[in-house]
């Protein structure tokens, strides 16, 4: 008998039930009608690093939670939507989740397989068993009862409603691929794919490939194509800061964080730019103009992350990767750029990033913007909303940001949990039964 079924039985018959429901995924499979479950602790949406970190910090404090995940595994972004050669961009010490460091024998920049391994061990260590194949379609605060109603749909269309006091949004800044409108792209005869679908350059051997976008993904995919004997070109639409991944024998990120303790951001930026210039020369001379504002200041103001070079720049310098300005239009086999040049390509890869999906399911306007699905308040204030609503992983600060958020959220919820959980579980248990 699954625990959920058990819960159902208890909910109907035992008004004093206040156990943590730990639904077994299989239970959800063959029901056509909406079922309603009262969850005594928080409901966390998303089983990526942020959702896992939140669940672990809560568990550590003795607060039970339930994690809902649309995919069939944890960290689906990493398992299904990233290229093979991906490694963490930042050293492991800046990417570990709370309460459990990376294994010592992991390299400084763990591979994606290693990162997934770590996350699996993490989930196991804290006994986190997400309910998989549960896509949250809406979450709304019900004023009349003072609780969140979180509705999800399973693979076979079966609907569930989770009723809870606290809702933790952990669906990520990268929930959906961002695909820009490009004139004529639908008529292109070659392959067009987003980096979310790109695995390796091996299938592009000998092909001319246009990579659109020069963030970390675009730069790395271009390098990967080069290494697999394809002929990549990179579209660079805007100014971009490219920094070496390491400087003076330390990670650029670590060095920057250290310097920021002592010096103002403008000075640290100047220092980073001088070192970059010594290492790379003038990046503008090979098509990569730098923004007016320095890399760290820009990150703070707009969230735009500097690119940490892992070898792409050398290939751009050597001419193995060509650089083009924005696309004017796309033809059957060719692409015309805004400078008037026309070139033929076999494939186009869109390294155009991702966006949050909260506007599609979170029925709430105070905390999250409907425009970009991100919290209105900038870091460090974006983690908490009204009525028991929280966000983990929306600070544009990568995994480090997820950890900070998870700790804050768990501490905050814990305060309320201690004060009211038992009382709540008992009284609410009385008013919610299952439908039909
Ligand atoms: C290629 C790449 C490399 C990166 N490298 C680094 C790095 O080296 N260091 C670093 O600090 N950061 C890095 N980041 C940034 C960031 O830390 C990662 O994206 C990280 O995975 C974010 O974790 P998350 O849990 O917030 O989001 P995600 O990993 O995206 O997890 C969100 C989860 O929510 C699920 N979900 C979404 N919508 C719903 C719904 N409606 N219902 C149910 N489930 C839903 C998704 O399926 C997913 O499993 C990288 C990002 C990318 C794209």
Q: Rounded mean pLDDT of 35-45?
A: 95
Pocket test for ligand 1, best of 79, 251, 305, 393 (most atoms within 8 A of CB): 393
Task: Decide: 4 in ligand 1 pocket, CB within 6 A.
Answer: no
Q: Which two tokens stand for residue 367?
A: 């905390």
87 CA closest ligand 1 atom index: 8
Pairing relation of β-strands 389-391 and 176-177?
unpaired
68 CA closest ligand 1 atom index: 43
pLDDT of residue 28: 36
- How remote is the CA of residue 398 from the centroid of ligand 1, in Å? 9
397 CA closest ligand 1 atom index: 11
Pairing relation of β-strands 147-153 and 159-164?
antiparallel
Task: Decide: 168 in ligand 1 pocket, CB within 6 A.
Answer: no
Q: Which two tokens stand for residue 377?
A: 């308040």
- How remote is the CA of residue 172 from the centroid of ligand 1, in Å? 5
34: left (phi over 0), alpha (psi -120 to 50) or beta: beta
Domains annotated on the chain, with CATH: 2-175+356-429 (3.50.50.60), 178-353 (3.50.50.60)
Task: Decide: 46 in ligand 1 pocket, CB within 6 A.
Answer: yes
Q: How confident is the model at residue 6 (pLDDT cuts 50, 70, 90)?
A: very low
pLDDT of residue 420: 75
Q: Which two tokens stand for residue 43?
A: 């409901």
pLDDT of residue 233: 98
pLDDT of residue 24: 37
Q: How confident is the model at residue 18 (pLDDT cuts 50, 70, 90)?
A: very low
Higher-confidence position of 29 and 198: 198
Q: How confident is the model at residue 66 (pLDDT cuts 50, 70, 90)?
A: very high
Complete edge-to-edge strand list for the sheet that includes strand 66-68: 66-68, 43-45, 167-169, 389-391
Task: Decide: 95 in ligand 1 pocket, CB within 6 A.
Answer: yes
pLDDT of residue 356: 98
Q: Say what the alpha-carbon torsion angle 312, 314, 315, 319 is, to the nearest 10 degrees.
A: 140
CA distance 141 to 388: 9
Q: Rounded mean pLDDT of 127-145?
A: 97
SS3 content of the chain, % helix, strand, coil (to 5): 35, 20, 45
Task: Decide: 398 in ligand 1 pocket, CB within 6 A.
Answer: yes
Over residues 227-264, the pLDDT tens digits come to 999 999 999 999 999 999 999 999 999 999 999 999 99
**Residue 313 in contact with residue 326, Cβ under 8 Å?**
no
Mean per-residue pLDDT of the chain: 90
Task: Decide: 169 in ligand 1 pocket, CB within 6 A.
Answer: no
Q: Which two tokens stand for residue 241?
A: 């800061």
Q: Where are the beta strands (DSSP E) in 361-435?
A: 362-363, 389-391
Task: Decide: 256 in ligand 1 pocket, CB within 6 A.
Answer: no
CA distance 10 to 373: 38
| Number of Cα atoms under 13 Å in the Cβ half of residue 333 | 4
Write phi, then psi, for 408 (nearest 5 degrees): -60, -45
Q: How confident is the model at residue 322 (pLDDT cuts 50, 70, 90)?
A: very high
Q: Which two tokens stand for residue 179?
A: 């695909």
174 CA closest ligand 1 atom index: 30
Pocket test for ligand 1, best of 53, 77, 118, 304 (most atoms within 8 A of CB): 77
- How remote is the CA of residue 341 from the centroid of ligand 1, in Å? 37
**Residue 32 in contact with residue 16, Cβ under 8 Å?**
no
Write phi, then psi, for 277 (nearest 5 degrees): -65, -40
CA distance 44 to 46: 6
Q: Rounded mean pLDDT of 266-272?
A: 97
* pLDDT > 80? residue 56: yes
287: left (phi over 0), alpha (psi -120 to 50) or beta: left
Pairing relation of β-strands 43-45 and 66-68?
parallel
pLDDT of residue 152: 97
Q: Closest Cα partner for 272 from 286, 287, 291?
A: 291
Axis-axis angle for helices 295-302, 265-280 (nearest 10): 130
Contacting residues for 261 by C-beta, under 8 A, at least 6 apart: none
Q: Rounded mean pLDDT of 145-156?
A: 95
Contacting residues for 366 by C-beta, under 8 A, at least 6 apart: 376, 385, 386
- How remote is the CA of residue 394 from the centroid of ligand 1, in Å? 10
Q: How confident is the model at residue 201 (pLDDT cuts 50, 70, 90)?
A: very high
Q: Which two tokens stand for residue 168?
A: 């933790």
pLDDT of residue 8: 39
**For 207-226, b where at least 16 C-beta lie within 10 A, e where not — what string?**
bbbbbbbbbbbbbbbbbbbb
Q: Rounded mean pLDDT of 298-320?
A: 93
């Amino acid at each position: 008998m699954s625990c959920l079924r058990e819960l159902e039985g208890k909910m109907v018959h035992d008004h004093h039930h206040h156990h943590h429901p730990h639904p077994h995924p299989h239970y959800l499979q063959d029901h056509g009608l909406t079922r309603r479950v009262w969850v005594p602790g928080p409901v966390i949406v998303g089983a990526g690093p942020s959702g896992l970190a939140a669940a672990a910090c809560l568990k550590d404090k003795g607060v039970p939670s339930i994690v809902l995940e649309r995919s069939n595994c944890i960290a689906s972004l990493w398992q299904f939507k990233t290229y093979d050669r991906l490694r963490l961009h930042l050293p492991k010490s800046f990417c570990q989740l709370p309460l459990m460091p990376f294994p010592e024998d992991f390299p400084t920049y763990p591979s994606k397989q290693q990162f997934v391994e770590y996350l699996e061990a993490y989930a196991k260590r804290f006994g986190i068993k997400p309910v998989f194949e549960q896509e949250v379609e809406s979450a709304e605060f019900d004023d009349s009862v003072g609780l969140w109603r979180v509705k999800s749909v399973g693979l076979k269309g079966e609907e569930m409603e989770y009723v809870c006091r606290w809702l933790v949004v952990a669906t990520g800044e990268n929930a959906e691929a961002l695909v820009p409108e490009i004139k004529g792209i639908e008529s292109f005869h070659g392959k067009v794919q987003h980096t979310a679908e790109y695995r390796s350059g091996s299938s592009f051997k000998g092909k001319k490939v246009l990579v659109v976008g020069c963030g970390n993904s675009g730069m790395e995919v271009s390098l990967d194509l080069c290494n697999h004997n394809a002929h990549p070109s990179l579209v660079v639409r805007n100014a971009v800061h490219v920094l070496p991944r390491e400087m003076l024998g330390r990670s650029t990120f670590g060095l920057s964080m250290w310097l920021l303790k002592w010096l103002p951001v403008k000075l640290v930026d100047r220092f980073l730019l001088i070192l970059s210039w010594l290492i790379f020369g003038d990046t503008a001379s090979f098509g990569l103009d730098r923004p007016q504002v320095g890399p760290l200041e820009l990150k703070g103001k707009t969230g735009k992350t500097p690119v940490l070079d892992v070898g792409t720049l050398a290939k751009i310098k050597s001419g193995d990767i060509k650089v083009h300005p924005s696309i004017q239009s796309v033809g059957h086999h060719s692409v015309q750029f805004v400078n008037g040049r026309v070139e033929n390509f076999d494939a186009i890869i869109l390294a155009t990033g991702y966006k949050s999906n909260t506007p599609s399911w979170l029925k709430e306007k105070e905390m999250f913007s409907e425009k970009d699905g991100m919290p209105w308040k900038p870091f460090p204030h974006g983690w908490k909303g009204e009525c028991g609503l929280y966000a983990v992983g929306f600070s544009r600060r990568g995994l480090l940001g997820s950890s900070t958020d998870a700790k804050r959220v768990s501490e905050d919820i814990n305060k309320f949990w201690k004060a009211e959980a038992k009382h709540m579980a008992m009284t609410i248990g009385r008013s919610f039964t299952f439908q039909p």
